[in-house]
Amino acid sequence: MARLITRRLLVSVGLVFAVSLATFLLQSAAPGDMARTILGDTYTPDAHERLRHQLGLDQHILVQYWHWLVNALSGDLGTSPISGLNVADEIASRLSVTSSLVICATLVTTIAGVALGVVSAVRGGRVGRAVDVLSLIGYALPSFWFALGMVTVFSVMVNLLPATGYVPLSSSPGEWFRSMILPVTTLALPGVALFAKQTRDAMLDVLSRDFVVALRANGVSERSIVFRHALRNASIPVVTLVGLTLVSLLSGTVFVESVFAMPGLGGLAVQATAQHDIRMIQGVVVVFTLVVVTANLVVDLVYGWLNPKVRVR
């Protein structure tokens, strides 16, 4: 297991470096720059060049990246020239919103999807067909339509849940929970359908194997077969799906935070991109990459625990 962790950590360091460099190069190649955004529509060429020099934008792109990397390795992500805000502080103030969305949506997706998949595989018949129908609905429904529909029903017509905004957990756990219901449901719906389908197929495959037949012949209870033996063997592809789902939910937060007016990292990334704020974009990308790397590392460890063969590869 130690070798597995070491290999994954080495790969993760290279991944963070590669993603940060690629982001820097792509953003620098985009039309426009920070100097024009700061000066506005009316500016003189001399003022534009002076500001570019002050910001270091006239240096070679790799030199700019090197300066940023040296500061980032010391924990300094810099200050946004456009907003004047400290990048690390701004990200920290918004991180709780995005992390709450991603963690809650991942939990809801995993628990609900696995439960539906297990019930469908064990019961079959109408239950199995119902899961198939729900899966198709989850895939087919556009997220924006589903989000707007829930806002219309639960916020406008019933006035039961808030349509927009975010309440910190430390301020009011109850209001935090209410503010998370609609955005988390919007994020989780497509994933629930995918998890249910994947879990059902994996469970059906495991339940048809010879060792399950032998367990039933030896009088082992059906509950023990399903939850102690079949579910553990079927959970290996599901665990991989958890990591992929968490990563996909990070990109989904950009849409959800915009619809429900939540001050998270997704909205910050969109705003920084529109303003060509390279320092803010770099900070957000690094945080997203670290989240992805951490999620993949946890998935690999769980995968190694479930499948010992992975530990020695």
Which tens digits make up the pLDDT trace of 60-118? Answer: 888 888 888 888 888 788 888 877 788 888 888 888 888 888 889 988 888 888 888 88
Which of 33-47, 58-72, 177-191 is modeled with the greatest confidence? Answer: 177-191
Whether the per-residue pLDDT at 179 is higher than 60: the answer is yes
Angle between helices 231-259 and 143-150 (to 10 degrees): 70
Q: In the predicted model, is pLDDT for residue 264 greater than 60?
A: yes
Nearest to 17 by CA among 228, 235, 285: 285
**Mean pLDDT, range 186-208, rounded to an integer:** 82
CATH topology of domain 87-274: MetI-like fold (1.10.3720)
Q: How confident is the model at residue 256 (pLDDT cuts 50, 70, 90)?
A: confident
Q: Are 249 and 191 in contact (CB under 8 A)?
A: yes
What proportion of the chain, given as a percentage, has pLDDT over 70? Answer: 89
Per DSSP, the three-state class of 86 is: strand
7 C-beta neighbours (distance < 10 Å), count = 12
Residue type, 43: Y
Averaged pLDDT for residues 5-20: 77
Helix axes 231-259, 278-306, angle to 10 degrees: 160
For residue 142, what pLDDT band results from cuts at 50, 70 and 90? Answer: confident
Give the confidence band of 250 by pLDDT, cuts at 50, 70, 90.
confident
Structure tokens at 20: 């940060």
Closest to 143 measured CA to CA, from 80, 186, 199, 90: 186
The SS3 of residue 42 is coil
Q: In the chain, helix, strand, coil percent, each to 5?
A: 80, 0, 20
Mean pLDDT in residue range 36-65: 76
The count of other CB atoms within 10 Å of the CB of residue 96 is 17
Return the pLDDT at 38.
Answer: 73
Q: What is the mean pLDDT of the chain?
A: 80
Residue 86 backbone phi and psi in degrees, to 5: -70, 125
How far is 186 from 158, CA to CA, in rounded Å?
18
Q: What is the mean pLDDT of residues 157-181?
A: 87
- Which of 108, 125, 115, 276 shows the shortest CA–CA distance to 187? 108
Among 247, 227, 228, 254, residue whose Cα is nearest residue 299: 247
pTM for this structure? 0.77
Reduced to 3 states (helix: H, G, I; strand: E, B; else coil), residue 259 is helix
Cα–Cα distances in angstroms (integers) from residue 97 to residues 60, 92, 155, 180, in the given order: 36, 10, 20, 10
311 has a pLDDT exceeding 60? no
